[in-house]
A = this chain, B = another copy of it.
Amino acid sequence: MKKLLFLSMLACSVALHAQPRGGKQVSPLTINKDRSVTVRYQAPATVKEVKICGDFLPFKVVSTEKWGDREEFTPIVMKKNTEGVWEYTSAALKPDLYKYWFEVDGVKTIDINNLYVMRGGRSDNANFFIINDGISANYITQQVPHGTVSARWYYSPYFKKDRRMFVYTPAEYEQMSTNRYPVLYIFHGSSEEESSWLTQGRMVEIMDNLIAQGLCEPMIVVAPNGDLDSQASYYTMNFDSSNQPHMCDVQNRSRGKENFDYYEYEHSFKDVINFIDSNYRTIPSKEGRAVCGVSMGGRNAMNVSRLQRNTFNYVGLFSPALEPEIHFPNKGYDQDIIESLRQQAKDGVKLYWIGVGQHDLQWKTNVPFRKILDEVGMKYSFNPSDGAHTYNNWRVYLTKFAPQLFK
């Protein structure tokens, strides 16, 4: 950890330089010594106003009846400097990965001179930067042993098609050629894809760093695609279609399929487990399996762990999307849901971990769920945090959840 802290000190007063396509070189970003950041943007001279947008800006809390408190980041008008470049300097920021973009006379765009570009969901490109210190040092490739991450295709008998997942094997997996390893299954949210935990989630960097620091058991991490109609990332597959397939979420399901089984993803998930247990040196039992997920994926983790009895010993719900009237077959916590949770509690899980932000749109929806857990005697670890329904929180949750597994 000392090493990470030392490395992270180097982050101070660093400028990203990039060569624009022709024209004068403008540094898109400077991280200042006080951990503020100066963002620059070279707009066409004709442009009247450039606003900076992003999750590093000051936010206001907006109260809503349905979704509780939410954080709203207000775009800020940048100032044109003497060289005609638009500039904005933030307040000092806490260590994290931040995304930003621009409104140029009302049209949203990113800065192609900052080559750090991240696709969020399916409809979201943004620039990003990292204020590197403390917890966010885990989001960066450090000088530690590195695991392998593989894009693997498997045949799903349930869906009768090939599907893709990412599989992380820890650094020692290849060296210890007979050791068996536990598996964490990690789910993305709605409108996302199997790569989301690798890009926004920084899962590979987090696992490498936690394992190297001895904070976390070496484990395999499996990131499947949670979209029932896709075989893989939309951007891998869809050069032949103008129709975005709908996501594995109830709101969208009716668009694509009639008479949809609400637990289709959960039932099909045996295919993923069977493939992993057949192709990797796993501990193929409850003791060797954890499952977690964000938002829609948090609900998937909740469902799959209660519907597949004695399959997972560790469950992590990160801001799970649990609005009963939307997210369950009969628009409520039916008795069969409650009974299966009671059974899960009786069967026993070593850890049932819930994280949710106080400005998270799922904060309110999680209250009745925890009451049910109390009623059925499920012991759980409740971890309220600051912040909202974002990977800023979910990276932290993974960093807290993973060290508690398989010990």
Interface residues of A (CB under 8 A from B): 7-8, 10-11, 14-23, 42-48, 101, 104-110, 112, 115-117, 119, 122-125, 129-130, 132, 140-141, 143, 145-146, 148-153, 162, 164, 171, 174, 232, 235-237, 239-242, 244, 279
A124 to B153, CA, bound (A): 30
- Contact A239/B108 with A122-B115, A149-B151, A151-B149 known, Cβ cut-off 8 Å: no
A–B pairs, 21, beta carbons within 8 Å: A8-B240, A10-B241, A11-B239, A14-B241, A14-B242, A17-B244, A18-B123, A21-B101, A23-B107, A44-B44, A46-B46, A46-B48, A46-B105, A115-B123, A115-B125, A132-B240, A140-B239, A146-B153, A148-B151, A148-B152, A174-B279
Q: For the complex, what is the distance from the CA of A119 to the CA of B114, rounded to whole Å?
A: 11
Q: Which 10 A-B pairs have the closest CB atoms?
A: A44-B105, A21-B108, A146-B153, A150-B150, A10-B240, A112-B125, A15-B242, A44-B107, A46-B105, A46-B46
Instruction: Evaluate whether A123 and B48 lie within 8 angstroms (CB atoms) in the complex, with A130-B239, A141-B236 already known.
Output: no
A106 to chain B: which residues have CB within 8 Å?
23, 44-45
Cα distance A104–B239 in the bound complex, in angstroms: 27
With A239-B132, A242-B17 known as contacts, the answer to whether A162 contacts B150 (CB < 8 A) is no
Nearest CB of B to A310, in Å: 29
Once the chains bind, are B148 and A162 in contact (CB under 8 Å)? no
| B-chain residues with CB within 8 Å of residue A232 when the two chains form the complex | 141
Residues on B with C-beta less than 8 A from A129 are 239
Extra inter-chain contacts (8) besides given A17-B242, A44-B44, A150-B150, CB under 8 Å: A44-B46, A47-B47, A110-B112, A112-B125, A115-B119, A117-B117, A146-B162, A146-B164
| Contact partners of A149 in chain B: CB under 8 A | 150-151
A11, A16, A119, A123 — most chain B CB neighbours (10 Å): A123
Shortest CB-to-CB span from A90 to chain B, Å, is 17
**Contact A16:B242 (CB < 8 A) given known A115-B122, A235-B115:** yes
Tell me the minimal C-beta distance from A48 to chain B in angstroms.
Answer: 6
Verify A20–B108 contact, CB threshold 8 A: yes
Cα of A16 to Cα of B105 in the assembled complex, Å:
25
Instruction: Indicate if the CB atoms of B109 and A112 lie closer than 8 Å.
Output: yes
Residues of B within 8 A of A242 (CB): 14-17
Residues of B within 8 A of A146 (CB): 153, 162, 164
